[in-house]
Each structure stands twice: as structure tokens, then as C-alpha cells.
Amino acid sequence: MARTPADKMSFLEHLGELRMRIVRSLIALLIGLLITFPFSKRIVSFLGQSVTRTGNKLVFLTPTEAFWVQMKVALIAGLFLAAPAILWQVWRFVAPGLYEHEKKYAAPFVIVGSLLFVGGGAFALGVVVPYAIPFLLSFGGPDLQPMISIGSHVDFVLKFTLAFGLIFELPVAITLAARLGLVTPRALARNRKYAVLGAFVLAAILTPTPDAFNQALMAGPLIILYEVGIVCARLFAARARPVTVPGETAA
């Protein structure tokens, strides 16, 4: 099945489509923010448990800090809540570049992408942060009393939560790139050693603790996700795209 000239969009049409998808994604994010804001205080309390469990207290240094922390937490929580709608807009943006038989993957893309994004955030909150905070606070010693502001702590936690949410989208990104012809499963497998090295370099940069255990804790999922991405790319790239010769019509 070949595309017709009517299926092709001009550059300005692409820009208009991109603008519309961004606006709709922002609307979805705003709706998520409105839903999660009433629960932001509870979420902040939950995020602070990694510090309070060590016997320390969180403080706020300016009159507005606590309020803006709750707004920031509600925004990120709203982003996770709006992930299916945002991924749907991403799919709708790339869909014109796909063939009809490829568009049936819309639901798996949105569902799997949303689950991976939420799973990455949950992994950060449940595995990385609980190990990192006590380790970092242990450097204080008997002569140094930690006085951690709620703003700096929440920024620290949300940074890892959002980063892991995006990192866990790796299989979806690889699969989509393979379907668009940007990468091939063979090239991904051939460059596996560089991917492993990059996973450990990224883990060394992002992991707040210098010990090998926590770095492996981050690099391990990255390597697994890369391998899952290769498998998915092979499955979805198994059916070759139809090729048409200029001057001929597709069958």
C-alpha cells in the first residue's frame, strides 16, 4: 500500500500539527495538575519519608517555599497522570508517517509507554531514593547536623523520578525508531557494547552515591531495557515496508 500525494504534509502543515499536539498535551498536563493538587500535601509528606525515617526533619526557608513545593509536586504527579494522553498526542503526530497496518499499534504504544513511564518513577522512589538519602546523610558525622529544606529535597527526589520515568521509555523509543527506519535491530545489537558502557557512564553521572552497588542498580535496568528494545524492534521490523518504484503503482 503506497501513500498518495494527498497523504504528504508540507513543512508548515507539520508545524501546525506539532503546535496542536503540544497545546493538547499542555491541556492534559493542566488537567492532571488540577486533579493532583489537592493531594500534593500528602505526596510531599510521602516524599519526605526518606529523610524523616533517618530521624531528621525537613524545613522550609522562605514563606513561599512550602507552597511552591506543593505546586511542583502536583505538576510532576499530574505529568505522570497525564502520560497516556501525552503519549497519545505523540502517536498522533507520528502516525501520518506510518502505513495503515502500522497504525494498529497505537493502543500498545500508549499503554506500554504509560506503564513504563510510571514504572520508572516507581523504581526511583522505591529503590534508588531510599538507598541514596541515608547514604548521603551518613557523611554528616557527629559534628554536622543536617538541615535540609523541603525545596531542595523534593527537587532531588523529583529529578530522579522524572529521569527514571523517561529512561524506562527506552524500549518504546527504540521500537518507534526502528519502525520509522531510523535504526535497525542489527545495528543495535552490533553496538551493544557501547550501550552497556553508556549505561554505566550514565549511571555514574546520575547516581548520587559513588558505590558500585547503586550504580549497578541503575545501569542494570538500562541494559535490560536496551535488550528489550532490540527484541521489540526485531518483532515490529520483521514485516518489511512496501517499496514502490518511481513511475509505478503499488499492488
Q: 59-72 burial, b if ≥16 CB within 10 A, otherwise e?
A: eeeeeebbeebbeb
pLDDT tens track for 222-235: 888 888 888 887 77
Q: What is the pTM of this model?
A: 0.68
pLDDT tens track for 196-215: 888 888 777 766 666 666 67
Q: Do the Cβ atoms of 243 and 231 come closer than 8 Å?
A: no
What is the structure's pLDDT at 207? 66
Q: Could you tell me the CA-to-CA distances from 222 to 16, 54, 87, 104 in Å, in that order? A: 35, 29, 21, 28
CB atoms within 10 A of CB 19: 10
What is the structure's pLDDT at 99? 66
- Range name among 65-69, 134-138, 188-192 with the lowest pLDDT average: 134-138
